[in-house]
Amino acid sequence: MYQSSFKTKNVNIHFVQKYAGQDIVWCPGGDQTGEEWEEQFDLFKDFRNTSFDPRGVGKTISYEDPPWTINTYAKDLSKLIQEVCKPPVIIIGLSMGALIVQEMLLKYPKLCKFGIAMGTSGAKSGYIHEWEEAEINLRNSEIKMPSDFALAHYALLMYPSEVLGDDQLWEKCKPIVEKAYSDRNSEMLSAQWQACLEYTALEELPNCERPLHVIAFDQDMQTPPVRGKIVSDAAADGHFHLLNGLGHCSLFRHKPKVVADKIREIILFNTK
């Protein structure tokens, strides 16, 4: 896997690429680095796969302190795509990355063929607003969450009961949770989550110029499927897909091929 960086006035973006062909750009979720998408890269060997470390995680260096917005992340990505890809690209994201997908389609449609937003939402409200706000407040309080507690806490939000109830599956997926949360910088984590909490594109999506496909997971406790349906219904050319038995992060270690098969189906649909 090729690794490099691209420097602008405000940020030095670490990115990774693998294979050759039509461009797919993968947008990481909060607390996630570009390298973590390699499992999906290997299921799309007929494409050039690119991902990156968003500000606040990994090897990317921001020359601007938080707060950052989802629009900031989209601006960073738009410059990276023009530098290391051949637009228009297929753009895919999970969680925070799915919000970046929405913003890219709205603000930089010429760089995108279509978007796939997984585990996404429109405006945060109700429980998911209260949960994310509580997480931010906890991190900003300077309380350090013990690593063993963080592992147990975030596993519930990332994986379905099938994983948590199967010792072999849990050992397979456990490193994903550990990497994201065992020793996370609280200031950077809360900065990313604050951007997510404040973002909504529901008023703009009816004017979206590109197709937006939303993939939801029926066991997703972090972003319940109904939240994704709101987004696809709001988009001018929106499509909703529900995958059963999967949680928010099931595409990592749990059932990556199930998700990849749905993504490939969507790609074929949009390239007839």
Residue 26 φ then ψ, to 5°? -105, 125
**pTM score above 0.95:** yes
Strands 47-52 and 112-118: unpaired
Omega of the bond leading into 67 within 30 degrees of 0 (cis): yes
Q: What is the mean pLDDT of the chain?
A: 96
pLDDT category of residue 180 using cuts at 50, 70 and 90: confident
Residues with Cβ within 8 Å of residue 161, at least 6 apart in sequence: 219
pLDDT of residue 145: 86
Taking each helix axis from N to C end, the angle separating 186-198 and 70-84, rounded to the nearest 10 degrees, works out to: 100
Three-state SS at 2: strand
Looking at residues 207-236, what average pLDDT do you find?
Answer: 97
Alpha carbons within 13 A on the beta-carbon side of 74: 23
Amino acid at residue number 70: I
The predicted-structure confidence for 46-85, as pLDDT tens digits, reads as follows 999 999 999 999 999 999 999 999 999 999 999 999 999 9
CA distance 259 to 251: 6
Topology (CATH level 3) of domain 2-122+200-270? Rossmann fold (3.40.50)
Is 142 a residue whose pLDDT tops 90? no
